[in-house]
Structures are given as C-alpha cells and as structure tokens.
Structure 1
C-alpha cells in the first residue's frame, strides 16, 4: 500500500506537467488560427470552416468587405490608428453576425475581411449588409479623437439560380468580390446583385483587374 501511494505521489508532478503542456499546445494552436490584430479567424481556418458551413446549411451568404480610405488614415494618423480601425471593423463584423448560428468571419489580410453567414431567407441579406456597413463606418475612438473609415461590401448567395449546382466557396467568393469591386467604383456602400454570375475573367484565380493580375492581351500589348 505504501509503495502504491509512493508511486502515485511520484506520478503526480509528471501528470501535472503533461496537463500544463497540453494547455500550452492548445493555446498555441488557437493563436495560430486567429489573426493577432483582429482576433478573427485566419484565411486557412476560415476556408475550412466556410466549406463545412456551405455543406451543412441550405442557404448561405458569402460576404467580402474592404475598407475605403484606410491608407489615407494610416498616412494621416499613423499605423496605430489603422490598427484601431482593423479592430473596430472586426468588432462590428462579429456583432453583426451575432445570432447567426454557424457564421464564420475572418480577416483575409490588410483591410479585407470575409464572412459566411447562414440565412433563413434571402430577404435577410440586405438587412445584414446595411447593418454591417453602418456599424463599420460608424466613428471609433483612437487617441482621444473620433475617426471613421469607409467600407465597400459585396455578397453572393449560395442559392442564387445562376450558380445552382456550382455554389462552391471559390465561386461565391468571386461573385462577392465582383459585387464589392462594383460598389467600390461608385464610392463605397454595399452591393448584392440578386441574379448575377461572375462577369469578368479570372487571372491566376483572381478577378482580372485586381492589382498584380494581367491578361494575355496585356502581355501582347507590353511585348
């Protein structure tokens, strides 16, 4: 009996050590999956979760959000103000998705964000986008002053008849990207074309015309 108690006592610190190591590993994994500035999911984790949401939910909105005037804010008020804008946007996005079970949001990089949101009806999408735009563009406090940024938001629905049978995450992201780009050209806001398919060509998997893309015709012209 004494030998058993001795063995248990000796194993106690070892078990505690493994337990602490497990906690440390879980925290490291969680940190790797979250963007450190916004607290939202990173792109890879977002895409995995978004695919599962699309598979499980009959009607899903895919949303892309890009801040307007972000560079000017950084130039005028410093990068700390830009960081505050990113955190404020993440908070607004999280709050807007509250109550939408299965919704997933991410910061894709820079000042670009994405979300997949299960909806009960298509009529809920304009309300979601309008509320999100209002929340993101509302003043936020930084260094004793109120600052604002603009936002361009595009969305696509998995039940859109133009993508019936092909509503994969890449297709819906492309459609949301086009909708976002179109509204950005008019000065910002939100845009959901109710029945559109991707209308522009793709270059390296991105909408042709985005920075860093070019078409074969461009190559010929530059030759």
Structure 2
C-alpha cells in the first residue's frame, strides 16, 4: 500500500492535471473577450461601422489580391444640416445611423466593409465585376433613399455617391488614391457637375489636395500637388 505522503502527492498531481484544461479554457475565453472588446472599441459608436484605418487596410489588401474587382465608394448625406437645424441633432444622428447600417449590410453582401470617415461621410470597399458598377450604384442610391422613421416623423435621406475602380488606375494606386478618386467623384455628383452614375477617373484619383483634403471642402482655398 502506498505511503500517505505518496497518496497526497498523487492526489495533487491528478488535481493539477484536471485543472489545467479548465485554466486554459478560461485564458482562451478571456482572450476572446478582450479581442471582442478591442474590436468594439474600434467601431464607430453611432453607426457600428468600422474605422477609417480598418477600411484602408482592407482596401490595400484587396488591391493586391482582387484588384480587377475592387471598388471603393464614398457616400455623403445631403441636407443633413437642414435636418439638424429643423428637427434637432438626434434626427440627424438617426439618419446617419440608418444610412450607415444600410451601407454596411450592402457592402458585406459584396465582399467588403463600410466605415464612417467622419461626420456624415461614409466609405466602403466591395468586390464587383466592372460591368456591374453603374447598376450597383443606382441600386444603392435607391436603397439609401428609403424613408427613415424618427420619433413618428418620416425622414427622407438623400445621398451623393462617388465610386472608384482599382482597375481604372495604375497598379501602384492603393487606398489613398482610390479614396481620393471616390471622394472627388462624390463631390462632382453632389455639385451636379456629373450624373449620379459617374465613375472616378485617373484625374480624380490624382487630383491636387489642400493639406491632404479635396479642394471644395470647408477651410480649403489653395490647391497644391
């Protein structure tokens, strides 16, 4: 018969062996929880969309692996100031949240993600055959324009959309150029210079900026290369 000391040692060994999987499971659960918390912290609290950094990282990855189908989109809500002034900022927030949710769902169904770039401006990346570009933009405009309910009132969104295709630009063009092209295209549509089906050109993607911002934005006056 084993000595009492040996029995106690064997019991401790068995206890440690039994508890190891539980400890590992707890560590893994904590790691998953922390990663989920970090991911949530990086998302925009109003729309739940990804950050600008997440969008640019995705664009750059797709530019290397799926360049022929890569599209980048910038959308800007029209008339948001009038909504804020007449109905309050809560109504404006409801409008942005609804547009963001719709854009995020639409982009995810096309192999991409959406992000809030700031204020009422949103961005997205998606994968499409270039032959589908115009049809998809027209369908997206109709989707984003669907009425939104706020406190018993019906809000009617209007959104200007610009889109750029990686296939139309030099192979070296990455996220910054594609976003600039989509932003310029959106501005041309918003001002009525181009129709809503307009697709960014190389000239749009390489347009001069003022401190990295498109001419025509508030606070930009002089264009530089």
Matched with 1:53 is 62
Pick from 77, 80, 86: which aligns with 1:67? 77
DSSP-derived class of the 1:61 partner: strand
Q: Does residue 142 in structure 1 map to residue 150 in structure 2? A: yes
After superposition, what is the alpha-carbon deviation per residue over 1:61-93, rounded to whole angstroms, capped at 9, x for unaligned?
A: 111000001121122222221221122112221
- Which among 102, 110, 129 is matched to residue 100 of structure 1? 110
Runs (5+) with no aligned partner, structure 1:
218-223
- Cα separation, partners in 2 of 1:178 and 1:216, compared to 1, 3 Å: closer
1:4 and 1:64 map into 2 onto residues whose CA distance is 61
Q: Provide structure 2 residue ranges, at least 5 long, that are not aligned to the other structure.
A: 1-9
What displacement does 1:200 show? 4.3
Post-superposition Cα deviations, 1:176-214, rounded to whole Å, max 9, x if no partner, equal 111111111129973424655227422112222322323
Moved more, 166-175 or 60-69: 166-175
Assess if the C-alpha contact under 8 Å between 2:77 and 2:157 holds in 1: yes
CA distance in 2, matches of 1:173, 1:138: 26
Does structure 1 residue 79 correspond to structure 2 residue 89? yes
The alignment's TM-score, normalised by the length of structure 1, stands at 0.84
* 2:185 is the counterpart of 1:155: no
Q: 2:84–2:92: 8 Å Cα contact kept in structure 1? A: yes
Q: How many residue pairs get matched?
A: 213
Matched, 1:180 2:189: no
C-alpha contact (below 8 Å) 1:64/1:113 kept by paired residues: yes
Q: Compute the TM-score of the two structures, normalised by the length of structure 2.
A: 0.83
Return closer, same or farther for 1:99/1:18 CA change in 2, 3 Å cut-off: closer
C-alpha distance in 1, partners of 2:207/2:49? 30
Higher percent of residues as strand? 1
Find the residue that maps to 2:167 and give its secondary structure.
coil
- How much has 1:47 moved relative to structure 2? 0.8
1: CA distance between counterparts of 2:203 and 2:17? 66
Alignment root-mean-square deviation, CA:
2.5
Distance 1:33 1:100 in 2: 22
Higher-Rg member (1/2): 2
1:210 corresponds to which residue? 217
Deviation at 1:157, TM superposition (A): 1.1
The answer as to 2:34 corresponding to 1:28 is: no
Find the aligned partners of 2:57 and 2:200 in 1 and give their Cα distance.
Answer: 26
